[in-house]
Structure 1
Amino acid sequence: MLLLAAAFVVGFVLLLYMVSPLISPKPLKLPGAHVVVTGGSSGIGKCIAIECYKQGAFITLIARDENKLLQTKKEIEKYSVNDKQVVLCISVDVSKDYEQVENVLKQAQEKLGPVDLLVNCAGTSVTGKFEAIEVNSFERLMAVNYLGSVYPSRAVISTMKERRMGRIVFVSSQAGQLGLFGYTAYSPTKFALRGLAEALQMEVKPYNIYVTVAYPPDTDTPGFAEESKTKPLETKLISETSSVCQAEQVARVIVKDAIQGNFNSSVGSDGYMLSILTSGMSPVTSITEGLQQVVCMGIFRIIGLFYLGSFDSIVRRCMMQREKSESTDKTE
């Protein structure tokens, strides 16, 4: 039995070694590259734009609020590394009208050249119990979080194919790897990005285009602060089991993984474990990554079961406390 297992591991390593030249992309060079960031006026999107600008890229920022865009543009320009760099701002809702999104991206490419890196960071969140969330919130989140990534990607993919190069990033969430209490409207939209990314990667890989799915944890952004105001108690307690990351840290990781052409982008030890656990049939871009998934999957599943047990315990305790409180109120 041990010999069979050893033979399997050796065979797997040899297979990965044989195909590694086919799955290891060349790093993207950011100096002079055109980077488009949707949702780029604040939070992770803004920090990604700053990180790319620091490395010499030309930036197109896309968001709805024109005033925020202009303010962010001034902030980004402070990090210029040469006098040729440009920050272009476009005010548009990327989730409503595909033709409008296509037109503004065409204009951006006429001014700054073909898009080398597209970062789909536009997104929003609604938390609450399933039956308490308005039905139109499910529709709105799917439009913003999913279609808001489909439309810009659809608008640039043909040019990337013609040039035989490009990078596309979908900013999902750890809630797009694990469904949690309170995220019945949000999690499915972020899970959908994973499916889109896997299918798209298989299509565009022969054209030297690489897709990255980023799974940031709770991150200190204006959106997170707003979301926290309406989180159910259960969701807050579950969220407190992990720390809140800084947007700058998350941005650096995402940009690095996008440059390298990595399919998965995660932050911290929890993020690494989740990426291994949810790797499934997702693409790999190195022998090391494939081996890590094979070796660590079992032990991480055991750890994951303890996490799930603790989350279930939190939900049960909150339910019991709520019922006890309601019962006390009735007897008074």
Structure 2
Amino acid sequence: MRLRTRPSRSRRRPDWSGRHVLITGGSSGIGLALVRELRCRGALVSVVARDPAKLREVAAEPGPVGSAPVATVSADVASRADLDRAVAELTALHGPVDTLITSAGTVRPGYFEELDHEFFRTTMDVNYFGTLHAVRAVLPGMLARGSGTLVCISSAAGLYGLVGYSAYAPSKFAVRGLCESLRMELRPHGIQVSGVYPGDVDTPQLAMEQPYKPKELAALGGTLRPAGAREVALAVLRGVEAGRPTIVPGAANRAVALLARLTPLLAGGYADRIVARSRRD
């Protein structure tokens, strides 16, 4: 559903006030930045994350004067039963979910042959099935009401595969496929679906993965500066407010994504040259 707007001849920001926005992975990074921005816009914000200590910190953050406190529940998004329980508890507190933002994710870069098989399974469980479980938990209510917004945070690695991301990229490609399928299926029911494809973002997760990045992946990522979490959060909200099905934050990231889509041979050749140069160096 496109967010409510007040009647006016001039363009106004759509009204988030009083809307229940549930964010998975909202205790850190992009998710936490979204929590803060949405509270400033008057939304009723709920957060699902695994770490109870981080959730307590989120709940304790002072919001704008008059804003509702953030509701939090600790749950593992990879467990459908766990997530169903969390969504039921948060719905009891804030009412039906108007907007779902799936920001929970994990990444472990490395060369394919050196990655433990468990990394592949865990990454898919968290990134793809964690998104799927959340969507399935809130969608029946949205269908019954004939309105709702689903925002799935994928990655630039869901638009094009990169060396070192053989576990991560497939999980984000899967999120992209889910978003594109759901957009087509749910639009007639009044439900808006947006996929988000950020590049590197300056978050604790990026810091965690840096020591494991193969030199070729580091060289490819070195061509673009990491975006700030708030910068990405604002781009997400602008895209959702505009009803965009595809949101690619950052001008440079959009240019790379466009190049990869329109001229994949040229983009692939350019990436291959960077990889070859990094190996020589």
Q: TM-score by structure 2 length?
A: 0.91
Q: How far 1:36 sits from its partner (Å)?
A: 0.5
- Take 1:314 and 1:224, find their aligned partners in 2: how far apart are those partners? 21
Task: In structure 1, list runs of 5 or more residues that go unmatched.
Answer: 1-23, 280-296, 322-332
Select the residue among 178, 189, 201 that pairs with 1:219.
201
Question: What's the % identity of the aligned pairs?
Answer: 36
The alignment covers a number of residue pairs equal to 272
1:152 aligns with 2:138: no
- Take 1:274 and 1:25, find their aligned partners in 2: how far apart are those partners? 28
- Take 1:120 and 1:278, find their aligned partners in 2: how far apart are those partners? 25
1:314 aligns with 2:274: yes
- Take 1:56 and 1:278, find their aligned partners in 2: how far apart are those partners? 38
Task: In structure 2, list runs of 5 or more residues that go unmatched.
Answer: 5-13
Q: How far 1:177 sits from its partner (Å)?
A: 0.6
Aligned to 1:46: 32
Select the residue among 232, 238, 249 that pairs with 1:250.
232
Select the residue among 76, 84, 88 that pairs with 1:102.
84
Matched position secondary structure for 2:108: coil
RMSD over equivalenced CA pairs, Å? 1.8
- Take 1:36 and 1:25, find their aligned partners in 2: how far apart are those partners? 16
Matched position secondary structure for 1:243: coil
- Take 1:277 and 1:191, find their aligned partners in 2: how far apart are those partners? 18
Whether the 8 Å contact between 1:56 and 1:81 is mirrored in structure 2 is no
Q: How far 1:101 sits from its partner (Å)?
A: 1.2
1:90 aligns with 2:60: no
Q: TM-score by structure 1 length?
A: 0.78
1:79 aligns with 2:63: yes
Aligned to 1:131: 113
Q: How far 1:170 sits from its partner (Å)?
A: 0.7
> Over alpha carbons, which structure has the higher Rg?
1
Residues 100 and 203 (structure 1), Cα distance of their counterparts in 2 relative to 1, 3 Å cut: same
Letter in 1 for 2:60: K
Which stretch of structure 1 is more off in the superposition, 207-216 or 99-108?
99-108
Letter in 2 for 1:79: G
Q: How far 1:274 sits from its partner (Å)?
A: 4.5
- Take 2:257 and 2:59, find their aligned partners in 1: how far apart are those partners? 33
- Take 1:212 and 1:25, find their aligned partners in 2: how far apart are those partners? 11
Select the residue among 156, 162, 165 that pairs with 1:174.
156
- Take 1:199 and 1:310, find their aligned partners in 2: how far apart are those partners? 31
